[in-house]
Homo-oligomer: A and B are copies of this chain.
């Protein structure tokens, strides 16, 4: 990834190099503040699987307000490799047994929990107890009760909590939010979002093991659709109904393969979502009174792509979403800017996940939701 400072980047954009139709209100505008003079926060990654290896660690090399300070791994041979690659001292290397002693390490400001979903609550709570700010990878946990426990632990420890919703820091997402809020196409009336890929790997992977994942496509990919339906409408839903489909039960033994769901919103908007581990789809379509916008791809690591009914292209130079996400959280800690992915957002989405599973178990019945503005930021 090309390393350009945010200041340079903003300048490039405003001078037109981006060739972009819809560039106003970019989150990069924040580059003009003085946070660049502040200290960088140290992040410890807990769990060194592919997401840490190929997304988070490289993103932390480019981040402005945080850096990779430590690792927590259960695989000893990874320790040396990561220490060398990222210049991490032995004193900042932990395993799952001695993890709690991270409380004594001033190099570590933020603990990012990147473990299988069923371990999120345990390690997030332990990180909070160690006095560290917490990023909990999505889905936040495997139940609403666990989300509550994490939120409570962070409050009690007086540490900040965010969920690893990288899309919330992405400029495409924020452009959708702007168009929904500023209404150049009028009010939203229908939203459809898809988040799906075809799983063909080892059927023994943790994502396909319910005791580790807590669920299948819905908790892995569906939370992206839940999120994009919500920011596509600009409010929380008041009901959801859902359906489950299964065509490869030999492969998807105890996790959901394909789920569709319909959400109803206070303003009458209807949103549909499709999530699957057995199909490719990666889209957000927002229909307004006077036009539409579409992102495709929408939920991938990028580069994303978008267009509008006016024939405009929505395009931004590619930046690591994970870098933007972690920088946003670091800035929240350092300067008090809004936490764009608070724990309440992760809990809200888990309430919806549980309602979707309930609807499916009750034959597609519409389930009421009482979310208020929970998790809606800005």
- Chain A residues packing against B (C-beta within 8 Å): 189-190, 192, 194, 196, 198, 241, 243, 245, 247-248, 258, 260, 262, 264, 267-268, 270, 272, 274, 276, 278-281, 283, 285, 287-289, 291-292, 294, 296, 359, 363-366
Contacts and interface: CB of A to CB of B under 8 A. Distances in A.
Contact of A364 (B241, B283, B289, B294): B241
A304 to B, nearest CB: 14
B283 A285 contact: yes
Nearest to A365: B363
Contact of A190 (B196, B243, B248): B196
Given A192-B192, A194-B287, 10 more contacts: A189-B198, A190-B194, A190-B281, A192-B272, A247-B267, A272-B272, A272-B274, A280-B287, A280-B292, A359-B364
A196 B270 CA distance: 12
Query: Which 7 pairs across A and B sit closest by C-beta, in order of nearness?
Result: A247-B268, A364-B364, A189-B279, A190-B279, A281-B287, A245-B270, A260-B262
A194 B192 contact: yes
A281 B287 CA distance: 7
Contacts of A281: 190, 192, 285, 287, 292
Given A241-B364, A281-B287, A364-B241, A190 B292 contact: no
A146 to B, nearest CB: 29
Nearest to A359: B364
A279 B262 CA distance: 15
A192 B274 contact: yes
Nearest to A289: B198
Contacts of A364: 241, 243, 359, 363-366
Contact of A366 (B262, B276, B279, B363): B363
Contacts of A264: 245
Contacts of A276: 189-190, 270
22 contacts: A189-B198, A189-B280, A190-B196, A190-B276, A190-B279, A192-B194, A194-B287, A198-B289, A243-B262, A243-B366, A245-B262, A245-B264, A258-B270, A260-B272, A270-B276, A272-B272, A272-B274, A280-B292, A294-B296, A363-B365, A363-B366, A364-B364
